Amino acid sequence: MTALRDLYPIPDIDSHWHVPNEFESVFDWRFDEGRTTLMHLYQKGKDMQWDAVNRIDWSLELDPENPMEMPDEAVAIYGSDIWNRMTPKEKAEMRRHAQSWNISQFLQGEQAALLAASKIVQSVPDLDSKFYAATQVMDEARHVEAYRKLSGKFGVSYPMTDSLMVLVNQALSDSRWDVTYLAMQVVIEGLALAAFGTIRDLAQNPLARMVNAYVMEDEARHVAFGRISLRDYYPQLTQKERDEREEFLVEACYLMRDRMTRSREVYDVLGLPAKECREFAEQSEIVKLYRTMLFQRIVPIVKDIGLWGPRIQKAYADMGVIHFAELDPQALQEDDERVARELEETLDPGKARREYIEAVAAHGAAGHAE
């Protein structure tokens, strides 16, 4: 199988990224029963493990002219003079590269989450959190596997963006375990859920829908894990310590909003006038709406964990996303799981997945009864 780095249209990308970090590995000698909510989530994480090879029908292909069969309105420069001047072949290349750029960032983010979850296992002080984070490590490995397979079908792939690298670096290098949670479980995973949902709900290609829906089923639990853990922890901090976390969140959210959707590498690779493309995209109503919708998963979580001071509220009001605070995080998680189940029933690849789920559920129920 071709290495994805060999598909990068950008030269001189290193094969590895080394992130130095210093944090303590913490043992929990209590070995108590843990918090009921987290242990339930841990059991759910075990029960809902799945195999990316068997659950997804990898014989399905992508459309060469519109890989995920997304509406053209999803292209950031749709409707611009540049777009209108393009030939059908050039538009097809634009779709392929733009969609590949998105999936590439998902893949890059999932590897970051894999490392962050493994760090949480070591650094978080509570055994119940270590248990759940261990299931997340397996989830993230599976997600990297799935997005790596999907990305390879585009025939082109992209490295991690500078803005994502900045936030990932902060998440992995900060010695405070809760900052890793904030960066990964709240900001990056929250943004990812919203972005995955856009493809799940708008794409017509069954393979793209499967991958994103099934990954979302896991990611919703990961965000819940961060929410439960931080909601218990932040009341113990001083006001100064909470202010520091709020400042970090504000900076991280502005960074992601202002840069995460700027796929300037695509414009350069395709020989388009990058400055003109970016200027059009910045004023595009579709891009503005997308950037707003990216925060529908983050804002209610931030409110729920108790980091809801004047600075956070002002930032979200300025971004036009504070109304998302009224959403119910638990209801969103349950909806993601429901959609994944319904999609599987519609796009069953012909394998005995339903029997497998029933067997796993029965096993989990038997374990609870013991």
Per-residue pLDDT tens over the stretch 275-318: 999 999 988 888 888 888 889 999 999 999 999 999 999 999 99
Provide the CATH number for the domain around residue 266: 1.20.1260.10
Could you tell me if residue 337 is inside a domain? yes
pLDDT for res 347: 73
pLDDT for res 352: 45
- Bigger pLDDT: 364 vs 337: 337
Identify the band that residue 333 occupies on the pLDDT scale cut at 50, 70 and 90: confident
Residue 151 has pLDDT above 60, yes or no: yes
The residues, ordered by sequence, that sit 6+ positions from 8 with a Cβ below 8 Å of its Cβ are 156, 157, 158, 159
Cα(216)–Cα(199) distance, rounded to whole angstroms? 11
Task: Tell me the residue range of the domain where 242 lies.
Answer: 46-369
Of 79-93, 140-154, 246-260, where does mean pLDDT reach its minimum?
A: 246-260
Could you tell me if residue 182 is inside a domain? yes
Measuring CA to CA, which residue among 24, 224, 42 is closest to residue 125?
Answer: 24
Of 106-110, 323-327, 351-355, where does mean pLDDT reach its minimum?
A: 351-355
pLDDT for res 358: 61
Q: How much is the pTM?
A: 0.87
Element (H, E) at 117: helix 88-123
Could you tell me if residue 25 is inside a domain? no
Residue 121 has pLDDT above 80, yes or no: yes
| Span 138-166, average pLDDT | 94
Q: Which two tokens stand for residue 198?
A: 């856009």
Q: Which two tokens stand for residue 236?
A: 């113990």
> Which residues in 220-305 belong to E strands, given as ranges?
none
The tally of domains found in the chain comes to 1
Amino acid at 208: A
Q: What percent of the chain has pLDDT over 70?
A: 92
Could you tell me if residue 12 is inside a domain? no
Q: pLDDT, tens digit, for every residue of 16-55?
A: 777 777 788 888 888 888 889 999 999 999 999 999 999 9
Cα(111)–Cα(130) distance, rounded to whole angstroms? 19
Amino acid at 106: F
Cα(216)–Cα(193) distance, rounded to whole angstroms? 6
Residue 258 has pLDDT above 90, yes or no: no
Cα(78)–Cα(313) distance, rounded to whole angstroms? 33
Of 13-27, 216-230, 247-261, 267-281, where does mean pLDDT reach its minimum?
A: 13-27
Could you tell me if residue 279 is inside a domain? yes
Q: 55, 351 in Cβ contact below 8 A?
A: yes
Could you tell me if residue 250 is inside a domain? yes
Could you tell me if residue 2 is inside a domain? no
pLDDT for res 367: 57
Identify the band that residue 369 occupies on the pLDDT scale cut at 50, 70 and 90: low
Average pLDDT over all residues of the chain? 89
- Bigger pLDDT: 5 vs 355: 5
Identify the band that residue 82 occupies on the pLDDT scale cut at 50, 70 and 90: very high
Could you tell me if residue 3 is inside a domain? no
pLDDT for res 300: 95
